[in-house]
Amino acid sequence: MPVPRPRFDLPLPSEITPRAVYEGRRDWLRMLAAGAAGSALAGWAARDALAAAPLPGKNPALPSVPSALGGAGAEALTRYDDVTGYNNFYEFGTDKSDPHDNAGTLKTRPWTVSVEGECAKPRTFGIDDLLKLAPMEERIYRLRCVEGWSMVIPWNGWPLAALLRQVEPTSRAKYVAFESLADKRQMPGVSRAVLEWPYREGLRIDEAMHPLTLLAFGLYGEILPKQNGAPVRLVVPWKYGFKSAKSIVRIRLVDAEPPTSWNLAIPREYGFYSNVNPKVDHPRWSQASERRIGEGGLGGLIAKRRPTLMFNGYEPQVGQLYAGMDLRKFY
């Protein structure tokens, strides 16, 4: 299928971080910049300074925030403890609490990400290089997982496009492949044949270059927790959560659709695109509605269901990427 020409719309005004929130993050951003320039960030020592300041993630009475979905009204942020305690990260185990319990073994320094393939200037970036590559932003994005649960998370990072422009993709670069760390010494789940390791994901080049596609280094104004994909992860808010690869070590620009872990494991259930679509059900779950983690008891499992929005509510920004496509065939 021919790849559509990229056409990017700007984010809606409701997706831009309010100035007051941005001002409240300046100290964190300064710490990142200072650490990227020298050894001050070694060992993520900035956590001590962050812990001394009040953060919304530590506040049990979370405020409502402007909707990241482009809809009317506001959406409550998911509690920090829920965001960091209820995860899919099979490298640390298959239960939702396993990443929180087991990810302490992950060593996030030193860390490098190689960017290679169909590009004029392949390069390996250290984590400090990445931290200072582009201005750090806060993006409040909704995370929708294929099992039917969702969260609203304030991520700290910058658009993936800023990194890809550094290596100058060639005209043969049609897709972008991502590879996560797979180290049995640090990741107990890698010893189990749950998936084919390392974890792999992929995007079409226009999806990767879209301004909403984020490389995240933090959440809630804190350094990205290990169980959430430290030190650097992908966030693609209009796709199901498993598309947002964690603990990335390799990015490769390629000319053909790359294999992805869940598509290799169960192709009938997990397609390459995996756009949030209430009209296309997973064989084992309806996608027409969802539960917000933290609403109601039992981790949101008894929360009132809410309708799932097409492209997770980002249809005005990304719908044109799929114009003319059969979204049941290209699920």
pLDDT band at 95 (very low <50, low <70, confident <90, very high): very high
What share of the chain has pLDDT > 70, as a percent? 76
Q: Find tokens 């990335």 and name the residue.
A: 248
Distance CA 296, CA 11 (A): 31
Which amino acid does the sequence have at 18? P
The answer to whether residue 284 is domain-embedded is yes
Mean pLDDT (whole number) for 207-221: 96
SS (H, E, C) the chain: CCCCCCCCCCCCHHHCCCHHHHHHCHHHHHHHHHHHHCCCCHHHCHHHHHHCCCCHHHCCCCCEEECCCCCCCEEECCCHHHHHHCCCCHHHCCCCCHHHHHHHHCCCCCCEEEEEECECCCEEEEHHHHHCCCCCEEEEEEEECCCCEEEEEEEEEEEHHHHHHHHCECCCCCEEEEEECCCCCCCHHHHCCCCCCCCEEEEEHHHHHCCCCEEEEEECCEECCHHHCCCCEEECCCEEHHHCCCCEEEEEEECCCCCCHHHHHCCCCCCCCCECCCCCCECCECCCEEEECCCCCHHHCCCCCEECCHHHHCHHHHHHHHCCCCCCCCC
| Mean pLDDT score of the chain | 82
pLDDT at 47 over 90: no
Domain contains 2:
no
In angstroms, the Cα distances linking 285 to 147, 210, 260, 290 are: 7, 29, 21, 10
Give residue-wise pLDDT tens across range 223-256: 999 999 999 999 999 999 999 999 999 999 999 9
Q: What band does 301 get if pLDDT is binned at 50, 70 and 90? A: low
CATH number of the domain to which 85 belongs: 3.90.420.10
Identify the pLDDT of residue 105: 96
Q: How far apart are CA 199 and CA 212, in angstroms?
A: 23
Cα distances from 68 to residues 25, 113, 151, in angstroms, run 18, 29, 11
pLDDT at position 228, please?
98
Asked if residue 327 belongs to a domain, the reply is no
Number of domains in the chain: 1
Instruction: Give residue 233's domain range.
Output: 13-322
291 pLDDT more than 70: yes
Structure tokens at 205: 């080049």
Whole-number pLDDT of residue 302: 66
Q: Identify whether the C-beta of residue 77 lies closer than 8 Å to the C-beta of residue 62.
A: yes
Among the listed residues 8, 274, 278, 13, the one whose alpha carbon sits nearest the alpha carbon of residue 160: 8
Instruction: Examine residue 214 and state whether it is found in any structural domain, yes or no.
Output: yes
In a domain, 303, yes or no: yes
Q: How many residues does the chain have?
A: 331
Q: Is residue 328 part of a domain?
A: no
Q: What digits encode the pLDDT tens for the residues 123-167?
A: 999 999 999 999 999 999 999 999 999 999 999 999 999 999 999
| Token digits of residue 54 | 């009040």
- Round to whole Å and give the CA distance between 123 and 112: 10
Could you give the C-alpha distances from 287 to 12, 89, 280, in angstroms and in order?
A: 25, 21, 7
Residue at 329 is within a domain: no
For residue 4, tell me if it sits in a domain.
Answer: no
pLDDT of residue 204 exceeding 90, the answer is yes
